[in-house]
């Protein structure tokens, strides 16, 4: 079975009343991206989209353009973040519009980003201000949530495994009565003609969810699960030390000393090799993650983490290796972080520095992989 790439997709690039209230009129993710700045010579900030394409996802044509680009590059579907708070929806317009009105044939599924929204950007102390609390309610609210999801599940483009709609949950361990909730959802799904739900728990910086009996699979969210969970090298100890001595960074200055003090001890090459080794050892129930790069300083200033040394060439080689490993493990998908996480430096969309080179590297790797046979004993 040939493995395929699904890419995480952020729908934050359009204005909503709540963000206007919390962050200022007209706020979108582009506000974060534009405030990026260099911390040291050679630091790649700010990130700027090619041709200044600061798009607005309230226009369905933008998302349809992205699906065409992604398909051409070898991506097999998007995993849209969904923000749902016990009946309250945020940032839902792009995905609902795509579901109801788009004629594009690009597959997709949803990731429930089920964490409370906090004011933690722009040097704000962690958990400083609660913007939107995540609560889960009781059985009535669980049913309401399911029947909202059902409108997506019944879309012929929605990704399914064994006639089970795929639904990914970011932090399932936050749901106290998750076994009861998921049991109800599976029962309702069968009543609607499916063979259940294919529930995937994400392994993140928050750790791995327990109660493995309630999930069909796990997903490694890279690079965060490796940075904060799996890696035990000296790099992690230095990263932790820098986190405790953040005040040493020379704020608002492009300084050579910041190259040492900025939280950038991890290289892209090291993490790719680490992820590849981990993928070879992982069980059949765990999907691997890949990533194009990471630098979230435009969101979190000096509290952000920089992973240095990403390039289209390294990215393409990593994808090819991960697809081969995934196929040998008989896994249908690997998950890319991300299509458009601009303020985290995790995107493959064209920018002013690289143009379309990341997308071309992706297309070349997928094309090469799809035209080779695993029986030839391809080297990892």
Per-residue pLDDT tens over the stretch 123-178? 566 556 889 999 999 999 999 999 999 999 999 999 999 999 999 999 999 998 99
- On whether the CB atoms of residues 9 and 338 are closer than 8 A, the answer is yes
Kindly report the average pLDDT of the chain as a whole number.
92
253 pLDDT above the threshold of 90: no
**What is the rounded CA–CA span in Å between residue 70 and residue 89?**
26
Mean pLDDT of 17-42: 94
Is residue 345 within 8 Å of residue 294, measured between CB atoms? Answer: yes
The answer to whether the beta carbons of residues 268 and 317 sit under 8 Å apart is: no
Separation of CA 198 from chain center = 19
**pLDDT above 60 for 376:** no
Tell me the pLDDT band of 374, cut-offs 50, 70 and 90: low
Residue 336's pLDDT is 98
Give residue 375's pLDDT: 44
Distance CA 272, CA 322 (A): 9
- Of the listed ranges 29-33, 224-228, 268-272, the least confidently predicted one is 224-228
Give the torsion sign (CA, 32, 239, 265, 361): negative
């Amino acid at each position: 079975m040939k493995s395929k790439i699904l890419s995480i997709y952020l729908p934050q690039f359009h204005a909503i009343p709540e963000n206007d209230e919390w962050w200022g009129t007209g706020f979108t993710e582009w506000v974060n991206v534009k405030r990026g700045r260099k911390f040291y010579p050679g630091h790649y900030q700010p990130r700027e989209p090619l041709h200044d394409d600061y798009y607005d996802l309230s226009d369905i044509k933008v998302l349809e353009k992205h699906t065409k680009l992604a398909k051409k590059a070898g991506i097999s579907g998007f995993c849209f973040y969904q923000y749902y708070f016990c009946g309250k929806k945020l940032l839902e317009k792009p995905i609902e519009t795509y579901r109801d009105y788009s004629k594009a044939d690009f597959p997709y599924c949803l990731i429930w980003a089920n964490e409370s929204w906090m004011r933690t950007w722009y040097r704000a102390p962690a958990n400083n201000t609660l913007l939107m609390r995540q609560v889960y309610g009781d059985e009535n609210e669980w049913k309401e949530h399911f029947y909202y999801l059902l409108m997506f599940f019944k879309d012929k483009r929605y990704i399914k495994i064994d006639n089970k709609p795929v639904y990914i949950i970011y932090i399932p361990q936050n749901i106290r009565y998750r076994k009861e909730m998921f049991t109800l959802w599976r029962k309702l799904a069968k009543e609607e003609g499916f063979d259940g739900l294919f529930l995937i728990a994400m392994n993140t910086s928050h750790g791995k969810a327990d109660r493995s009996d309630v999930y069909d699979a796990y997903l490694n969210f890279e690079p965060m699960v490796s940075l904060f969970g799996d890696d035990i090298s000296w790099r992690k100890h230095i990263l932790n030390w820098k986190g405790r001595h953040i005040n040493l960074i020379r704020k608002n200055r492009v300084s050579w000393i910041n190259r040492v003090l900025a939280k950038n001890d991890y290289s892209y090459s090291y993490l790719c090799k680490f992820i590849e080794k981990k993928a070879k050892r992982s069980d059949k129930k765990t999907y691997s993650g890949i990533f194009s790069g990471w630098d979230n300083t435009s969101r979190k200033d000096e509290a952000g983490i920089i992973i240095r040394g990403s390039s289209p060439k390294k990215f393409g080689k990593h994808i090819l290796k991960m697809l081969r490993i995934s196929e040998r493990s008989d896994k249908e998908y690997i998950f890319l972080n991300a299509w458009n996480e601009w303020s985290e430096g995790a995107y493959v969309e064209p920018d002013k520095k690289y143009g379309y080179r990341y997308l071309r590297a992706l297309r070349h790797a997928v094309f090469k992989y799809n035209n080779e046979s695993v029986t030839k004993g391809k080297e990892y």
